[in-house]
Structure 1
Amino acid sequence: MKLDILVKNVAVWGHEVLCDLGIAGGRFVSLGQAGAAANAALTLDAEGRMAVPGFVEPHIHLDKALISERAPVNVSGTLTEAIEILWEIKRNYTVEEIADRASRVLAQALGHGVTRLRTHVDVDPIGGTRPAEGLIRARERFRDLMDIQIVAFPQEGIVKSPGTEALMREVMKAGVDVVGGMPFNENSPEDSRRHIEIAFDIAKEFDADIDMHVDETDDPMARTLEVLAELTIKNGWQGRVTAGHTCALASYPRNYADHVIDRLREANVNMIANPATNLMLQGRLDDFPKRRGVTQVKELLAAGVNVACGQDCVHDTFYPFGQNDPLEIAFLLCHASQMSQPGEILTVMDMVTGNGARALRVPDFRVAPGGVADLVVLDARDAREAFATRAPRRWVIRKGKLIAETRLETHRYFDIQAAPAR
């Protein structure tokens, strides 16, 4: 068989020896010992570089991305002010400008090797269905380049925001994939519980997964995460629910935190850490010691809970940085969660690849014959080097086609041997 692409001498994530990887018809067709002869239209010699089966971005807000280009400054730097600034901007949204901003960020993500992505989109009476329509339009533009899931996100609440529940059903009918939520942003614990119950009602109606922002607060009395786990079990939605942020978990006393983590494991809830945004936003009003708001990653992993990590925000009212690069987010998480041991570094690479794929329920996410030929070759030999250097993406292959390539040249006009002695 003539191959479309042969990737030679590549260190495929999860394999201990260098491989030659054959691609034809958009799929992997061979994976064997390096040095085997093969006929290919395009041959790429990885020279021992590592490769992953595409990065997974499980949590981002494309409808808000790049909005800082025209938004007032968030003076307090808090989550509350970020949301309030957005109110006026959302009233003036247009479908096309949302699609255009999202497309710019998606193109950047693709260059960084992201081949699967889940984005939240605000659904409320302020912006109506326009944000969802804009992201559906952007998704269509990237249909052959990236698998994109859209989450209906009621940031303004459901119970306290009349009309939102109907809008969520409307956008689900229009092509949104996942039911979102933000239960702590209601006026009482009873309304927070009702918020989650409504989300499950909608999810059952559309046979959809659920992905909620949960307890994105420093308040150790926030309790919606445990309610989400309880209702996941009650509704038989184990494995189909994801909780993002969960900052309050970082402030819980140990005994209650362990109880909640055990319930999350029982409910098979996926967890998403968002280190960039939460390091920036949480603890703003604290004196020292200052809480940092990143969820209990090590403890969740140790309990057997699936944990991934995501970008969350890109140049918006919540976060002024971000380039939708999973290696940057992984690098931040290594610091925020103090994951520096060799095994922990490997786990963090899992968090931006396979763990994210599990949260998005991506089938057969691996480099193996018969699988969809998505591959990112990094200019690094291992995960530690990849994070430390935020390694350039040497090649990005999507469905068997080379779609991005990075070539770097460094010219040094000095000679360290000639440096004067001290």
Structure 2
Amino acid sequence: MHIVNARLRQRSELYRLETDNGVFSAITAQDAPIKATEGQLDAGGKLLCAPFIEPHIHLDAALTAGEPAWNESGTLFEGIERWGERKPMLSEADIRARVLKTLNLLIGNGVQFVRTHADTSDPSLVGLKTLCALRDELKDKIDIQVVAFPQDGLLSYPGGDRLMEEALEIGADVVGGIPHFEYTRELGVASMKRVIELAMKYDRLVDVHCDEIDDPNSRFLEVLACEALFNDLGSRVTASHTVAMHSYDNAYCSKLFLLLKRSGINFISCPTESIHLQGRFDTYPKRRGVTRVKELNEAGINVCFAEDSIFDPWYSLGNGKLLRTLDFGLHICQMMGYKDFSQALSLITDNSARTLNIEDRYGIEVGKPASFNLLEGEDDYSVLRNQGDVLLSVRHGKTIMQREPARIITPPWIG
């Protein structure tokens, strides 16, 4: 595949890209637009960027909203309760059918890498086993990382620690945790130490649902960051949500950010889900309940956006469109300056690749896999402002999704 007249992020020139055996073999600037010859793809001045990444989603729960009951309060904890009622209905066939539908949504919107959580607070581990099997079956179509996630607590749920080890033996890629849902602060702290211990024992990444609560006294992030720092695991550790940070006072945060920067851990924010779930116990003023994305970003701490849910007990919307999440996230986090807009796509591409530890095989560079999206727009700002479609998604040099751009027919009264 040879591509001509493409624009690349943060660059003003047009580019020609060549691939060989599914790998970028040459990337050269063009002095001017050129006419595509047979066999060449004419990008037409549109933006070619690295594939979108969904770094935090719950595929085992996708498409289950209202089964058997709806989350009427809209709270995180009722969502967990509703999911607990759905778990006895799980089977391999049920999970497989829903996951494949959800992955089709994601792939159709330019996503080629997914990190999914799989609930291990289930003695059968059917969700985790099914997701690991699908990961292996679909590896030529999409990259999937599976997080062993103890939804009901690693140490508070009976046998939770044993189930976590079993999940890692089965082949989960990432160790998860949920310290704020453990029964006591002591158990929450112990769970963070145990998560790091297991990650080192099994040589796995870490992704913790951390401080997903409005309580300003929920401070397990400092424990996770300390353990990552002391064990030199920072780049392999991710703190997801961290919404309690929205309620921390600035004096504490100024100290906390020194630790976070030193630790090198990554952050994932799920802005549409968090603004929906958090602040539910407030009247007014009502908290946004989203972590300090802008401040993390400005401090040089790696942070990315995720959708989190698609039509499940926690969030009854969702459509696999990360550009929608990005748009909402920038509004919610008050990242509305031109500099924010001009670098916006990093929050669903490069920053996410760093979080998933896949930078060695990700990006528009010679020698890396020829995987990319062609977007309706010429730069981050225009794609974001117009919510430009993903026109083409190519994986390892092979087209996996293509759509025609919308045609606008000028009404006669415009003249």
2:202 aligned with 1:206, yes or no?
A: yes
Displacement after TM superposition at 1:36 (Å): 9.0
Equivalence for 1:149? 145
Equivalence for 2:129? 133
- Residue 405 of structure 2, aligned match among 404, 408, 412: 408
Secondary structure of the structure 2 residue equivalent to 1:367: coil
Displacement after TM superposition at 1:416 (Å): 2.8
The aligned amino acid for 1:200 is: I
Equivalence for 1:98? 95
CA-to-partner distance for each residue in 1:213-258, whole Å, 9 max, x for gaps?
0000011111101111111122221211100000000110001112
The question of whether the paired residues in 2 share the 8 Å contact of 1:91 and 1:127 is answered with no
Equivalence for 1:61? 58
CA distance in 1, matches of 2:386, 2:10: 21
Counterpart mapping for 1:219-234 below 5 A: 219-234=215-230
Secondary structure of the structure 2 residue equivalent to 1:376: strand
TM-score normalised by structure 2 residue count: 0.95
User: More displaced, 80-89 or 342-351?
Assistant: 342-351
The question of whether the paired residues in 1 share the 8 Å contact of 2:8 and 2:48 is answered with yes
TM-score normalised by structure 1 residue count: 0.94
> Percent identity among equivalent residues?
33
Equivalence for 1:353? 349
The aligned amino acid for 2:279 is: G
The aligned amino acid for 2:227 is: L
User: More displaced, 383-392 or 86-95?
Assistant: 383-392
CA-to-partner distance for each residue in 1:369-405, whole Å, 9 max, x for gaps?
2110001000112212212232111111001001111
- Residue 298 of structure 1, aligned match among 288, 294, 299: 294
CA distance in 2, matches of 1:332, 1:411: 26
- Residue 211 of structure 2, aligned match among 215, 233, 238: 215
Displacement after TM superposition at 1:140 (Å): 2.8
Structure 1, unpaired ranges of 5+? none
Displacement after TM superposition at 1:45 (Å): 1.1
The question of whether the paired residues in 2 share the 8 Å contact of 1:154 and 1:182 is answered with yes
CA-to-partner distance for each residue in 1:53-79, whole Å, 9 max, x for gaps?
111111111111111163411111100
- Residue 389 of structure 2, aligned match among 389, 392, 395: 392
Q: Per the alignment, do residues 184 and 276 of structure 1 end up closer, same or farther by CA in structure 2, a change over 3 Å counting?
A: same
2:340 aligned with 1:344, yes or no?
A: yes
CA distance in 2, matches of 1:39, 1:333: 38
Secondary structure of the structure 2 residue equivalent to 1:239: helix
CA distance in 2, matches of 1:48, 1:39: 12
2:3 aligned with 1:7, yes or no?
A: yes
Equivalence for 2:113? 116
Q: Per the alignment, do residues 273 and 409 of structure 1 end up closer, same or farther by CA in structure 2, a change over 3 Å counting?
A: closer
The aligned amino acid for 2:60 is: D
The aligned amino acid for 2:150 is: P
Displacement after TM superposition at 1:297 (Å): 0.8
CA distance in 2, matches of 1:334, 1:131: 33
CA-to-partner distance for each residue in 1:160-180, whole Å, 9 max, x for gaps?
112111111111111210000
The question of whether the paired residues in 2 share the 8 Å contact of 1:93 and 1:127 is answered with no
User: More displaced, 31-40 or 271-280?
Assistant: 31-40
- Residue 164 of structure 2, aligned match among 168, 171, 175: 168
Equivalence for 1:78? 75
CA distance in 2, matches of 1:371, 1:41: 25
Equivalence for 2:45? 48
Equivalence for 1:378? 375
Aligned residue pairs total: 413
CA distance in 2, matches of 1:128, 1:190: 28
Counterpart mapping for 1:315-330 below 5 A: 315-330=311-326
- Residue 310 of structure 1, aligned match among 298, 301, 306: 306
Aligned-CA RMSD value = 1.8
Displacement after TM superposition at 1:23 (Å): 1.5
CA distance in 2, matches of 1:303, 1:355: 14
The question of whether the paired residues in 1 share the 8 Å contact of 2:265 and 2:302 is answered with yes
Q: Per the alignment, do residues 69 and 102 of structure 1 end up closer, same or farther by CA in structure 2, a change over 3 Å counting?
A: farther
CA distance in 2, matches of 1:316, 1:29: 42
The question of whether the paired residues in 2 share the 8 Å contact of 1:10 and 1:20 is answered with yes
Secondary structure of the structure 2 residue equivalent to 1:9: strand
CA distance in 1, matches of 2:406, 2:33: 30
The question of whether the paired residues in 2 share the 8 Å contact of 1:20 and 1:36 is answered with no
